[in-house]
């Protein structure tokens, strides 16, 4: 891994370690869970019903920009992987959706977040979850292991998104699907213009454009790729629902 990529990863890790202790949201993006709890789920929020069903420690450290558990349309019995699982909000909500016959993995690189997530899972009596330490560019799961991959405003933080897309494709079973929320830039914005709107851990500087995101997923072996903006987070930058299916 290049020195710059290592530096970005460490910067992100440090920021989320602070957030595990209640240090707040991802930079300038307005994504704290208490800002608009009753908004439409696809607009980047969680319903009050969902939040009441999980420990407050999970919801209070939600740093995402959407609600992938809603847009992924999870079904009972499915196996799910959450990339960058943080305090565990999306893992715990997914666990309720897939039921006792399903299973949910949460992947995070930050020890502080993993400790918090495991405490939240224990408080929620969630027995169909497991939190793994690792990187989203090097997912510690076997090939064809899961039915669905979700993520909430995390892929934009990676310095090697091609590796992320390749790894997501690898761990999904044939016909498996992606249902994620992420920050995406207008095709007209240059990388420098994206950087002007926020730093890397602010979820903006590392964002792909719509065209780059689509091409990256298709190059990794995905089809039926759709990108649906839900709300603007900065000039030319949107919170977007991304759906895709692994080719059978």
Helix extents (H) in 21-176 = 48-52, 56-59, 68-71, 89-98, 111-123, 161-171
| Pair 212, 188: CB distance under 8 Å | no
Helix extents (H) in 177-232 = 191-196, 210-219
Query: What is the predicted pLDDT for the residue at 246?
Result: 98
Query: What is the predicted pLDDT for the residue at 70?
Result: 73
Domain residue limits at 152: 3-246
Q: Indicate which CATH number applies to the domain containing 66.
A: 3.40.50.150
Q: State the total domains in the chain.
A: 1
Query: What is the predicted pLDDT for the residue at 205?
Result: 65
Answer left, alpha or beta for residue 152, where phi above 0 means left and psi between -120 and 50 means alpha: beta
Query: What is the predicted pLDDT for the residue at 197?
Result: 75
pTM of the predicted protein model: 0.81
How far is residue 18's CA from residue 243's CA, in Å, rounded to a whole number? 30
Give pLDDT tens digits along the chain (248 positions): 666 666 556 655 556 555 555 554 444 333 433 333 232 323 446 666 666 666 655 555 555 566 777 778 899 999 999 999 988 989 999 999 999 999 999 999 989 889 999 999 999 999 999 999 999 999 999 999 999 999 988 898 898 999 999 999 999 999 999 999 999 999 999 888 887 776 544 556 688 999 999 999 999 999 999 999 988 888 898 989 999 999 98
């Amino acid at each position: 891994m290049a020195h710059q990529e290592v530096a970005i990863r460490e910067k992100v890790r440090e920021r989320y370690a602070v957030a595990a202790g209640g240090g707040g949201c991802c930079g300038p993006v307005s994504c704290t869970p208490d800002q608009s709890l009753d908004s439409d789920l696809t607009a980047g929020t969680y319903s009050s019903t969902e939040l009441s069903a999980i420990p407050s420690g999970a919801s209070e450290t939600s740093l995402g920009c959407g609600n992938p558990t809603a847009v992924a349309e999870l079904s009972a019995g499915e196996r799910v992987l959450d990339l960058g699982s943080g305090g565990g909000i999306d893992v715990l909500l997914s666990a309720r959706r897939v039921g006792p016959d399903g299973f949910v993995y949460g992947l995070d690189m930050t020890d502080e977040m993993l400790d918090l997530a495991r405490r939240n899972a224990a408080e929620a009596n969630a027995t169909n979850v497991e939190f793994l330490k690792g990187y989203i560019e090097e997912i510690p799961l076997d090939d064809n292991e899961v039915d669905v991959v979700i993520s909430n405003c995390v892929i934009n933080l990676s310095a090697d998104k091609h590796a992320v897309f390749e790894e997501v494709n690898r761990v999904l079973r044939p016909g498996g699907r992606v249902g994620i929320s992420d920050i995406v830039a207008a095709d007209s914005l240059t990388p420098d213009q994206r950087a002007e709107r926020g730093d890397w851990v602010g979820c903006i500087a590392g964002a792909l454009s719509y065209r780059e995101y689509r091409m990256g997923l298709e190059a990794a072996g995905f089809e039926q790729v759709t990108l649906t903006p839900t709300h603007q987070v900065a000039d030319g930058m949107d919170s977007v629902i991304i759906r895709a299916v692994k080719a059978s």
